[in-house]
Amino acid sequence: MDAEERLLDLLGRSVGLTRAQLARELGLSKATVSGLVGDLLARGVVTEAEQSAGGTGSIARPVEAGGAIAVPRKSAGGVGRPGTVVRLTGPDRAFAVLRWSGHHLWSTLADFAGGTLAARSDEVPVDMDQAELVADVEAELTGLHREAGREAGYTLGVVLAVPAPFQPGVGIPAPGPSAWAAKPEESPMWAHAGWLATDPVPALKERLGIHVIAENDANLAALGEATAGAGRGLDSVVYVKVTPNTIGMGIVLGGRIHRGANGFAGELAHVQVNPQGPLCYCGGRGCLRGLLGQALVDAVRPAYQRDITFQDVLALAEAGEPGPRRILDDLGLTLGRALADFCTLLNPAAIIVDGSLGGAGEIVAAAVRESIARHSAPHAAGAVRVMCGELAERAEVLGALAMVRDRRYG
């Protein structure tokens, strides 16, 4: 791309930038940028407006040239008249995020400030093939644009939050030698294998004609917390995602998502906690996931003699009920034992517990903290901060925002 194309691309992934920011991000002189902006203003391609006194409309790029997460720069200005920002003419550009959980699909259309323009929720089959996925994504985008009252041309990208181990360019790892390998469609891990057997990104790009990224959902959440949440300014962050059915982990090391050799990095649910435990669908035995989901709910239900859900367990624990609090405390101790070895080996700066757990998250975090202090090497335990996430369900959307803005990851 020439200088003008690079400038327009950068503006398209922001909510407005000052001329000084444009010069810094593009590595061009201020005089060159001023000339480019002047020409674009004359042609009506961009507009220039006074920025709000509360801050800039900066792209706030999460990744520097070397790949490390950047600490947001403070404004150089003090008291006085706010500067001006340059932005593309017309509505703000947008991107879409699609997130799956079982048979449920959540779709969000967001702007590059992270604001929600439209949101949808639909029931979808999990056993669809790639052609059906492409059709579903196209239909979701159409619905989002209709709900937001926007033209499709202002949406620059789509991010798929993949609910399974995933390797960009390859897809989901092939089923291992487990009892379910002959019928992978019956295994929760491989439930999405129809559309993830190969990377769906090329087919989606061809149909939609826009930038498309597919990434593991826990990785996106980790990136969101690392760039816009509790892990801001830290270059090594571990995010623990807790759902009603399983548990995942996203890892950001040196400012980059760590996916592992075949996309399996961070599959905390498949750490062995009981060598004599039951066979897991991953092919392992006594995996951590056996303590979660329905097993966790079943451990609480007898005390209440009624049907309860995972969300009920969280609410009861947050309200101070001793039984559910004990269950979540035990969960945190078990998670912390697995994470303690990780801390000793990789020495992360922070472990962030899923913010969508609400107030119950601190119960889990406190137990994780205790277990790491007990089982990790003292130097590693003393360096790691265990905290609750700040973004809750927005973590994945803001992680997607970081990926679309930077494009380094996708």
Residue 309 reports pLDDT greater than 50: yes
Asked whether 148 and 117 are in contact (CB, 8 A), the reply is yes
The answer to whether the 3-88 and 94-217 domains have the same CATH topology is: no
For the chain, the straight-line distance linking the first and the last C-alpha, in angstroms and rounded, comes to 18
* pLDDT value of residue 292: 77
Q: Which of 30-44, 67-81, 263-277, 283-297 has the lowest mean pLDDT?
A: 67-81
Residue 83 reports pLDDT greater than 90: no
Coil, strand or helix: which one is 27? coil
Spatial distance between the Cα atoms of 200 and 160, rounded to a whole number of angstroms: 10
Residue 404 reports pLDDT greater than 80: yes
The class of domain 3-88 in CATH terms is mainly alpha
The class of domain 230-390 in CATH terms is alpha beta
* Most confident region among 54-63, 157-166, 269-278, 380-389 by mean pLDDT: 380-389
Spatial distance between the Cα atoms of 232 and 9, rounded to a whole number of angstroms: 25
Ranges of each domain in the chain: 3-88, 94-217, 230-390
Spatial distance between the Cα atoms of 67 and 206, rounded to a whole number of angstroms: 29
* CATH architecture group of domain 94-217: 2-Layer Sandwich (3.30)
336: which residues sit within 8 A by CB, 6+ positions away? 367, 368, 369, 370, 371, 372, 374, 375
Cα 196–chain centre separation: 18
DSSP string for residues in 121-150: EEE--SS--HHHHHHHHHHHHHHHHHHHT-
* pLDDT value of residue 128: 86
pLDDT tens string 378-401 = 999 999 999 999 999 899 999 999
Minimal CA–CA distance to 297: which of 334, 268, 318, 323? Answer: 323
Half-sphere exposure for 57 (CA within 13 Å, toward CB) = 28
DSSP E strands in 184-288: the ranges are 211-216, 236-242, 247-253, 256-257
* pLDDT value of residue 279: 85
* pLDDT value of residue 218: 95
Question: Is the pLDDT higher at 126 or at 381?
Answer: 381
Minimal CA–CA distance to 67: which of 240, 267, 226, 261? Answer: 226
Q: Which of 53-62, 82-91, 262-271 has the lowest mean pLDDT?
A: 53-62
* pLDDT value of residue 74: 39
Q: Are strands 46-50 and 84-88 parallel, antiparallel or unpaired?
A: antiparallel
Residue 293 reports pLDDT greater than 50: yes
Residue 120 reports pLDDT greater than 60: yes
Coil, strand or helix: which one is 196? helix
Burial class (CB in 10 A: 0-12, 13-18, 19+), 49: exposed
How many other CB atoms are found less than 10 A from the CB of residue 76?
8
* pLDDT value of residue 175: 57
Q: Which of 7-11, 26-30, 67-71, 139-143 has the lowest mean pLDDT?
A: 67-71
Asked whether 16 and 93 are in contact (CB, 8 A), the reply is no
- The percent of residues above 70 in pLDDT, for the chain, comes to 87
Residue 374 reports pLDDT greater than 70: yes
Half-sphere exposure for 260 (CA within 13 Å, toward CB) = 15
Question: Is the pLDDT higher at 355 or at 103?
Answer: 355
* Most confident region among 28-32, 125-129, 277-281 by mean pLDDT: 28-32
8-state DSSP, 112: T
Spatial distance between the Cα atoms of 99 and 378, rounded to a whole number of angstroms: 38
Spatial distance between the Cα atoms of 239 and 391, rounded to a whole number of angstroms: 12
Residue 119 reports pLDDT greater than 70: yes
pLDDT tens string 28-72 = 999 999 999 999 999 999 999 887 654 444 443 433 323 333 333
* pLDDT value of residue 220: 96
In this prediction the pTM is 0.86
**CA angle 392–168–134, rounded 5-degree value:** 80
Mean pLDDT rounded to a whole number for the chain: 86
Asked whether 406 and 63 are in contact (CB, 8 A), the reply is yes
Residue 410 reports pLDDT greater than 50: no
pLDDT tens string 314-361 = 999 999 999 999 999 999 999 999 999 999 999 999 999 999 999 999
